[in-house]
Amino acid sequence: MAFVPDTVLEISLNLLGFVVGLALGIFSYIGFKNTGSPTLFRLNIAFFSIGIGFGVVGFGYVIELFILKYAQPDSWIQTLGIGIQTVGYFFIAFSHGIKSFFPKSRYFKSIIFPLFIIPGNSIEHIIRSISFILLVYGTIETIMSYMENRNRNTIFVAAGLGLLALGEFLGWYSIIFPKSILYFISLSTKITGLGALFIPISQVPLRGGPKFGGNI
C-alpha cells in the first residue's frame, strides 16, 4: 500500500484543525464555568463540534489507512466530519441570530431553529451548502458588530469566519473537480480561518481562574 503525500497532508491539516478547535472549545468552556454565560456555552459547543469534526476526518483516515490498511478511506468519514463541523457553524450563527432577533427573549430563543431549503444531489453537498450559508451569515453579523464596537479583534474573527466560509465553498467546488488541488486549498483556508479565530484568545490570560457557582 503506497500513501500519497496528499493523504498525509490531508490528515495533518485535519488534525491541526482538531487541536485548534479543541483549544478554542476549552477556552470557551473555562469562560462558561467561570461566568455561567449562555453565549460562552454556545461557543463552547460550537468549537468542540468544529474540532471534533476535523478530528473525525483526521483520526478516521489514520485508523482506516494505517491500522485497518484500507487502500482508500471511506467517503462517509468525510461526510460525518463535515456534518459535525456544520453543527459548530450552526451554533456560531445561532448566537448571532439570538442577539439580532431575540435580544430579550429567554425562552423562545432556545427552541427557534432556522429552516434551510438547499438543492443538492449528495449529503456532503447539502452539508457544505448549509455550512457556507451559516458562515457567511456569521461573517456579516460579525462585521456589523465591528461597525458598532470598533474592536480590532472583531475584524480577525470576521476574517476567520470568512475564510472558513471560503474554505467550505472551495470544498464544495472540489466535489465537482475531485482529486484536484482545490480540496487542499480548501482545508488550508479553513485551518487559517480557525487560526484567525484564535487571535482574540491571545489577548486574554489563559488560566484556570477561580471557580464560582453556576447560579450567578
Partner 1 sequence: MAAIYRTHMSIIGDILSTTRDETPDESGASVTYLIRKANVSYGRLAKILETLVQQGLLEQTTSDRACKYRISSRGREFLQAYRGFREFADSFGLRI
Q: Which of 81/160 has CB closer to partner 1?
A: 160
Q: Which of 175/199 has CB closer to partner 1?
A: 199
Part in contact with partner 1 (CB under 8 A); list of ranges 11-19, 54-62, 73-81, 197-205: 197-205
CA distances from 141 to 33, 117, 131, 157 (A): 26, 21, 15, 11
User: Taking the C-alpha atoms of 114, 119, 123 and 126 in order, what is their torsion angle to the nearest 10 degrees?
Assistant: -50
Q: Which of 100/122 has CB closer to partner 1?
A: 100
Instruction: Assess 99 for contact with partner 1 (CB under 8 A).
Output: yes
Q: Which of 54/156 has CB closer to partner 1?
A: 156
Contact mark string toward partner 1, 12..41, x via CB under 8 A: ---------------xx--x--xxxx-xx-
Q: Are the CB atoms for 83 and 57 separated by under 8 Å?
A: no
Answer for which of 153, 173, 182, 185 binds partner 1 (CB under 8 A) is 153
Q: Which of 151/180 has CB closer to partner 1?
A: 151
Instruction: Assess 213 for contact with partner 1 (CB under 8 A).
Output: yes
Contact mark string toward partner 1, 73..92, x via CB under 8 A: -------------------x
Rounded (10°) angle between helices 75-101 and 123-149: 30
Instruction: Assess 142 for contact with partner 1 (CB under 8 A).
Output: yes
In angstroms, rounded to a whole number, what is the distance separating the alpha carbons of residues 48 and 18?
A: 9
Instruction: Assess 133 for contact with partner 1 (CB under 8 A).
Output: no
Q: Which of 78/95 has CB closer to partner 1?
A: 95
CB contact set of 96 (below 8 Å; sequence gap of 6+):
137, 138, 141, 142
Q: Which residues bind partner 1 (CB under 8 A)?
A: 27-28, 31, 34-37, 39-40, 43, 92, 95-96, 99, 103-104, 141-142, 144-146, 148-149, 151, 153-154, 156-158, 199-201, 203-205, 209-210, 212-213, 215-216
